[in-house]
């Protein structure tokens, strides 16, 4: 993506000429943004003399990998490179689960993909990689279909599409309502009704006040502990410490020295 379309087009023409059916355009350092991506892919296709299928591979250094991928597809790319949970070098790559849902819901593609497996796949990759998703991760995050705000919950109870553009059932999720300091009386009435209880408005309000007081009083110490544990885990398992490297290298060098000495 740091090359000009005019410079890259002859290279791709040559690749097509020797028989390649497709080629990936890469924003390896993640420096594009949607408008420049659209302009680049359009200019590249206009400058090329031969037909070849274009793909797109984006990195997420500025948090734009998914947006740039969609821009490239809208401009004519027909192959998408992505990773589950956006894993990849540095800040990662385009998150495949986000790209899939955006292609279908925003660009209106029909894809032969069973989206209900995406949360399962995300969790499996998280366990295998040790890189776990934050609650607010789009599509597969724990908090994506949860609602706490009184205004939001009231509207959701009337029509879920008011505050959800994605039907959670299509991606293996479900609507959830969370009690907290932003909740309103509507959610309290709904939860009581779920248990077959009807209460007077004054009672509902007092229950809500108790809920908010309990939520505000909740200590955040456990969050600090989890953060420290995760940081320690990632530091240990997602890197290779210098001490271990030196021990492994020293062992190999000693073995090489012993072998050489024996040969002499």
pLDDT, one tens digit per residue, over 19-43 is 999 999 999 999 999 999 999 999 9
pLDDT, residue 101, reads: 97
pLDDT-based confidence at residue 264 (cuts at 50, 70, 90):
low
Measured CA to CA, the distance from residue 79 to residue 73 in angstroms comes to: 8
Average pLDDT, the chain: 91
Q: Scanning the structure block, which residue is given the tokens 């021990």?
A: 247
Measured CA to CA, the distance from residue 117 to residue 124 in angstroms comes to: 11
pLDDT at 216 over 80: no
For residue 58, the 8-state DSSP code is E
**Phi, psi (deg, nearest 5) at residue 54:** -100, 140
pLDDT at 1 over 80: no
Query: How many helices, marked H, and strands, marked E, lie in the chain?
Result: 10, 5
Burial track 71-100 (b if 16+ CB lie within 10 A, e otherwise)? bbbbbebeebbbbbbbbbeeebbbbbbbbb
Among the residue ranges 1-5, 42-46, 65-69, 116-120, the one predicted with the least confidence is 1-5
Closest CA to 122 of 141, 103, 102: 141
pLDDT at 263 over 80: no
pLDDT at 87 over 90: yes
* Coil/strand/helix, residue 241: coil
pLDDT at 213 over 80: yes
pLDDT, residue 249, reads: 93
């Amino acid at each position: 993506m740091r090359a000009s379309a005019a410079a890259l087009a002859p290279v791709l023409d040559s690749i097509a000429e020797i028989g390649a059916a497709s080629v990936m355009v890469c924003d390896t350092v993640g420096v594009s943004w949607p408008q420049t991506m659209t302009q680049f892919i359009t200019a590249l296709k206009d400058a090329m003399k031969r037909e070849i299928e274009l793909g797109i591979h984006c990195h997420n250094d500025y948090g734009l990998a998914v947006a740039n991928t969609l821009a490239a597809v809208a401009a004519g790319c027909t192959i998408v490179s992505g990773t589950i949970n956006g894993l990849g070098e540095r800040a990662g790559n385009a998150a495949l689960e986000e790209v899939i849902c955006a292609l279908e819901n925003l660009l209106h593609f029909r894809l032969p993909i069973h989206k209900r497996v995406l949360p399962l796949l995300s969790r499996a990759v998280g366990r295998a990689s040790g890189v776990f998703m934050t609650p607010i991760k789009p599509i597969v995050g724990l908090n994506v279909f949860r609602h706490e705000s009184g205004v939001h919950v009231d509207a959701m109870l009337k029509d879920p599409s008011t505050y959800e553009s994605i039907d959670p059932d299509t991606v293996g999720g479900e609507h959830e309502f969370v009690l907290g300091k932003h909740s309103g009386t509507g959610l309290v009435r709904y939860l009581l009704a779920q248990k077959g209880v009807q209460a007077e408005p004054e009672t509902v309000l007092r229950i809500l006040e108790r809920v908010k007081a309990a939520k505000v009083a909740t200590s955040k110490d456990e969050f600090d502990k989890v953060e420290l544990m995760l940081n320690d885990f990632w530091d240990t398992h997602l890197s290779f410490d210098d001490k271990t490297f030196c021990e492994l290298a020293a062992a190999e060098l000693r073995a090489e020295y012993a072998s050489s000495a024996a040969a002499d």
